[in-house]
Structure 1
Amino acid sequence: MTIVTMAPRSPLPESPPGSPPTVRLWAVTLAGLSALLLTLVAAGWPPLTDWDASVAARAHEAALAHPGTTRTNRVFSDWVWDPWTMRALAAVTVLWLWRRGTVRLAVTVGVACLGAAAAQQLLKAAVGRDRPEWPDPVDTAHFAAYPSGHAMTATVVCGLVVWVLHRVKAARPVLVAAWTVAAVSVAGVGLTRVWLGVHWPTDVLGGWLLGGLTVALAALAYRRVEAADRRQ
C-alpha cells in the first residue's frame, strides 16, 4: 500500500483590498492629479481661482444665514474630525497592531502618518497660499491654506485604518462600518472647512488627493517589503 503524505498547508496570506496592479494604478492616477492641481493652484490659474472664490462666497453666505449649522460644523471640524483626533486614532491603531504582533503593519501606519504630516507642512510653506478672508468670519485658522491639513490627515488616517482592517481580515460588518465611517469623515471634514470659510474648495480637494496617494504608497511599500521577505 502506498501512503501519500501531503505537506501541511501554509497559512493563507493576508489579503488587502485591491491587487498590486490596481493599487499601482490608483497611486499613479492620484499622483498625476495631485501634481496637476498643485501646478494650477501655484500658478493661480484664473478659471480655478474664480471657481474657488465663487464656491467659497456662497458657502460663507450660507454659514452666516444658518448659525446653528455653522456651530455644528465647528464642533465636527474642531473636535471630531480635527487632525489631533485623527492622529490619536492613528496612534491607537499603531499600538493595537504592535500588541497583536503585526509589527510591520504598525510601522507602515506610523511612518505613513508621519510622512504625510511632514509633506503637508512642506507643501503649505512652499505654496504659501492665502486663506479666504471675510469681513465677518465664522471661524479662524492659521498658516497657509494649501493643502487642507484637516482633509489630508483624515484621508490618510481613515484610509489606513480601512486598509489595516482588510489586512487583518476583519469581519464583514466591521469592514462595512469602517468604510461608512471613513467615507462620512473624509467627505464631512472637507465640507466643514469650506463651510466655515477657512479653506478654498481646491485646498480640500488637494488634501483628499494627497491623502489618498499616501495610503496607496503605503500599501505598495508594504507589499514590496512583504514580497521581498517571501523570496528570502
Structure 2
Amino acid sequence: MAASCRAARLCLLVGRTVSSLPARRAASLPERRCFVSTSTRCNLQFKLDERTAHSSLDLFKKDTGIIYRILGLDPTKVPENPERFRDWAVVFGDEKISSGRHYWEVTVKKSQEFRLGVAEALMSRDDCVGTDGSSWVFSYAQRKWCAMTGNKMVPVTIVGKPDRVGILLDYEAGLLALVDIGKPRIIHSFRGKFKGPLCPAFGLWDGELLTHSGLEEPDGLK
C-alpha cells in the first residue's frame, strides 16, 4: 500500500424486512463535537466496489451509486467472490484508508432505511455494517438517526432526513462525523478504535444512494 494520502485515495437478506434486523442495544458511545486534528487532509476519491456488493444491489452512474432491488439478482448468477456480502445489502468503496483526514458526501433518494460510514476492509462478509466492532456507521431507520458500532446505538438529534449529507473521517483521531452540508457543521461525531485499513461502507434497504468523492472538506469543521 502506498503511503499516506496516496494510500487513502487508494444490510439485508433478500426479502428481509426492517423488522427482521438484529436487535440493537442502546448505549452511550463516546462523542465529541470539537477536536484538534493533526491529520493530513486528502481528497479521497473512490467508486463502489462491485466485488463487495450484495446481490440485491445494482451499481449505476459509473459505479458511484447503488439501487436496491427487493428481489435482487439470483445469487447463483452472481460471480462468486469471497469479498462479496452474502446476507446483507452492503457495499464498500474501492479505496482503503489507513491514515489522514477524509471527507465525502452521499445523496439518498426514496429510501427509509440506510447506513453510511466506514468499516475495516477485512470485515466479515456475513455481518452487516454497524452490527460488529469492525464497522462504524450512521443509521437512518423509522425516521430516526443513530450512530452504530458493535450493534450498539446512540440517537442522533437531527430534524428530518436531508437528501444529502457529509461524512468526515479522521483516521488518526479515530473519529467519524455526520455533517450538515448546508451550514456546514458537524451534527454528530463518535470515536472508534481503527486497527487496520478502512473502506467507505454503505447499507441500503430501499431506494437509491449516490456517492460524491474527491471533495474538499468544508471550511469550519473542527
Q: Taking structure 2 as the reference length, what is the TM-score of the superposition? A: 0.27
Q: Relative contact order (alpha carbons < 8 A, sep ≥ 6): 1 or 2 greater?
A: 1
Larger radius of gyration between Structure 1 and Structure 2: 1
Q: Taking structure 1 as the reference length, what is the TM-score of the superposition? A: 0.26
Higher helix share: 1
